[in-house]
């Protein structure tokens, strides 16, 4: 059997000095809370002008208020804009506004972070469940890549592109959500090849993070069936995500370190579940290579979060 060693190491996919990104825009979707907000905080700390792009105007206003003092200290500007990433025209409008308002500022970071959770099973998910999961978790990333990356390639300035996927995008998928996250990982892998080193690219694949993603159906647009009430059971899981999950700041820190070192797959793991993502990946690859059926190893820690056990 022929063997082919991957010639592409981390070298060439990172900025040795993140200072080269200072002064540019950091366009971050889903950045009014959670991982996106932590990425915006990190962008400010590195001297970039964060664009807080989110679907909830009240959350955008709160996020910009929280960042103002730190932004003033760093001499950067915060831009808050409402955007629905599942709508290509809406994303294109954001791109046109930014080009018009900041013609001389390069885009230093495009972080395609907006995402929705839930959706249930392949057979049990409704048409609206599939449409919103696909529309945000995959099409939303693609819409942003189409709107911003061509301009980043022509700006003759260093830049980075990242997307937030999930550990569910690397393991044997077990949900509608996981299907869309697998597609997100594949999209970023494909983009990485197309960029050919002209921009750095990265995909974040964390396990349970202390965010609101479990309750994202409460903000569902009308064309996807409208907002859904958070049930008592969902609220319990959401609370446990917040109390037990990986801090969003750790995800942001690992993304910016990946932008420096060149790491493409950013597998951010909680301290309470060390090695689990790598176990999932190894198990899936072994199943493929050994002609076995798909299997996802169980994490007692994650099972406890979803069941409410300590």
Say how many CA atoms lie within 13 Å of 26 toward its Cβ: 31
Q: What is the CATH number of the domain that holds 239?
A: 3.40.50.720
> Are the C-beta atoms of residues 204 and 163 closer than 8 Å to each other?
yes
Domain extent for 192: 18-307
Query: Is-contact 187 142, C-beta < 8 A?
Result: yes
Residue 60 covered by a domain: yes
Give me the mean pLDDT over the 104-113 stretch: 98
H or E element, residue 110: strand 107-112
Residue 144 falls inside a structural domain? yes
305 neighbors 272 (Cβ within 8 angstroms) = no
- 4, part of any domain: no
Model pLDDT, residue 307:
84
pLDDT tens for each residue of 145-169: 999 999 999 998 999 999 999 999 9
Structural domains of the chain, count: 1
Q: What is the pLDDT of residue 308?
A: 64
Q: Report the run of H or E that residue 164 belongs to, with start and end.
A: strand 160-164
Distance CA 160, CA 45 (A): 16
What gap in Å lies between CA 89 and CA 123, rounded to an integer? 31
Domain assignment present for residue 10? The answer is no
In a domain, 218, yes or no: yes
List, for residues 225-257, the tens digit of each pLDDT value. 888 888 888 888 888 888 888 999 999 999 999
pLDDT tier, 74 (very low <50, low <70, confident <90, very high otherwise): very high
Calculate the average pLDDT of the chain.
94
Is 9 among the domain residues?
Answer: no
pLDDT for res 1: 56
Query: Whole-prediction pTM value?
Result: 0.95
pLDDT of 218: 83
Question: Order of strands across the sheet with 107-112?
Answer: 79-82, 49-54, 25-29, 107-112, 160-164, 200-204, 265-266
Q: Which pLDDT band, with edges at 50, 70 and 90, does 5 fall under?
A: confident
Please report which confidence band the pLDDT of residue 9 belongs to, taking 50, 70 and 90 as the band edges.
confident
Average pLDDT score over residue span 14-25: 97
Is the pLDDT confidence value at 84 over 80?
Answer: yes
> Would 8 be classed as within a structural domain?
no
Residue 144 has pLDDT above 80, yes or no: yes
Q: Is residue 7 part of a domain?
A: no
Q: Would you say 290 and 261 are in contact if contact means Cβ atoms under 8 Å apart?
A: no
Give me the pLDDT at residue 310, please.
56
Q: What is the pLDDT of residue 288?
A: 97
């Amino acid at each position: 059997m022929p063997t082919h060693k991957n010639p592409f190491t981390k070298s060439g996919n990172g900025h040795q000095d993140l200072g080269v990104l200072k002064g540019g825009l950091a366009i971050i979707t889903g950045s009014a809370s959670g991982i996106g907000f932590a990425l915006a905080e990190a962008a400010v700390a590195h001297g970039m002008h964060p664009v807080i792009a989110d679907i909830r105007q009240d959350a955008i206003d709160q996020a910009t208020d929280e960042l103002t003092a730190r932004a003033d200290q760093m001499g950067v500007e915060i831009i808050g804009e409402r955007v629905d990433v599942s709508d290509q025209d809406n994303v294109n409008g954001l791109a046109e506004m930014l080009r018009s308002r900041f013609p001389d500022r390069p885009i230093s970071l495009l972080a395609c972070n907006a995402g929705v959770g839930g959706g249930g099973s392949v057979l049990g998910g409704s048409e609206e469940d599939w449409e919103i999961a696909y529309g945000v978790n995959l099409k939303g990333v693609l819409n942003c890549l189409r709107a911003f990356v061509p301009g980043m390639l022509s700006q003759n300035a260093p830049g980075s592109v990242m997307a937030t996927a999930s550990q569910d995008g690397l393991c044997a998928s077990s949900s509608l959500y996981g299907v869309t996250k697998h597609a997100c990982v594949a999209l970023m892998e494909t983009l990485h090849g197309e960029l050919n080193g002209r921009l750095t690219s990265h995909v974040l694949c964390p396990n349970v993070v202390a965010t609101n993603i479990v309750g994202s159906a409460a903000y569902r647009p009308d064309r996807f069936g409208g907002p859904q009430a958070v049930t008592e059971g969902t609220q319990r899981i959401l609370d446990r995500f917040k109390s037990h999950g990986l801090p969003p700041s750790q995800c942001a820190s690992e993304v910016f370190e990946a932008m420096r070192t060149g790491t493409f797959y950013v597998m951010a793991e909680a301290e309470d579940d060390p090695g689990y993502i790598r176990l999932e990946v190894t198990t899936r690859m072994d199943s493929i290579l050994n002609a076995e059926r798909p299997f996802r190893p169980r994490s007692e820690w994650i099972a406890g979060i979803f069941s409410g056990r300590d």
